[in-house]
Amino acid sequence: MNALKRRSLFLGVAAGAVGLGAWAWRSQALPMAPAVEYTLLDGSRHLSAKAWAGKVMLVNFWATSCTTCVKEMPALVATHQRYAAAGFSTLAVAMQYDPPDYVAQFAQTRKLPFGVAIDNTGSIAHAFGPVRMTPTTFLIDKKGQIVKQILGEPNFDELHALIERLLQA
């Protein structure tokens, strides 16, 4: 076999392997959101698998002591209000170290329109990663798959575009 034929054969095999690798990557299942139990500030207990079924969910880990969390909260409220009627829901999970009375006061004074849970034991943050940085946001599709994890403040234009695609799916 001459050098030109060997090179063509090699490039063909390499291209096929890259194509197969890309196909395998695209066909890989997205990670499922963990099943977690949580209690909202109103005292109601929920199991994520039941409460989130068929919805596009945004789960935001935050703390009252986190300046970025406080800064992004009005945009999270606006996002929730914009898409709630279409099957979108939001859960704000306050970190274990956040004093419960601070969380309750924050939620009340800002009239947060979505569920707020306090992760007293850290079990919710542990199940999702563990989550160590605030804010950390997860976007979950209607099938319960984690579609996106965002560390820090989201780009809300990009987040809204993704939410709209997920709601239409």
pLDDT tens, residue by residue, 44-93: 999 888 888 899 999 999 999 999 999 999 999 999 999 999 999 999 99
- For residue 28, the model assigns a pLDDT of 64
Q: Cα–Cα distance between 145 and 28 in angstroms, integer? A: 12
CB 162 within 8 A of CB 148: yes
Q: Structure tokens of 148? A: 């996106």
- Percent of the chain at pLDDT > 90 equals 77
Look up the pTM and report it. 0.82
Task: Answer yes or no: is pLDDT of 17 > 90.
Answer: no
How many other β-carbons are positioned within 10 Å of the β-carbon of residue 115?
21
Q: Are 44 and 19 contained in the same domain?
A: no
Helix (H, G, I), strand (E, B) or coil at 168: helix
Is the bond into 31 cis (omega within 30 degrees of 0)? no
> Which residue range(s) make up the domain with 12?
1-29
Question: Residue 30 — pLDDT band, cuts 50, 70, 90?
Answer: confident
Q: Are 88 and 126 contained in the same domain?
A: yes
How many domains does the structure of the chain reveal?
2
Question: Residue 146 — pLDDT band, cuts 50, 70, 90?
Answer: very high
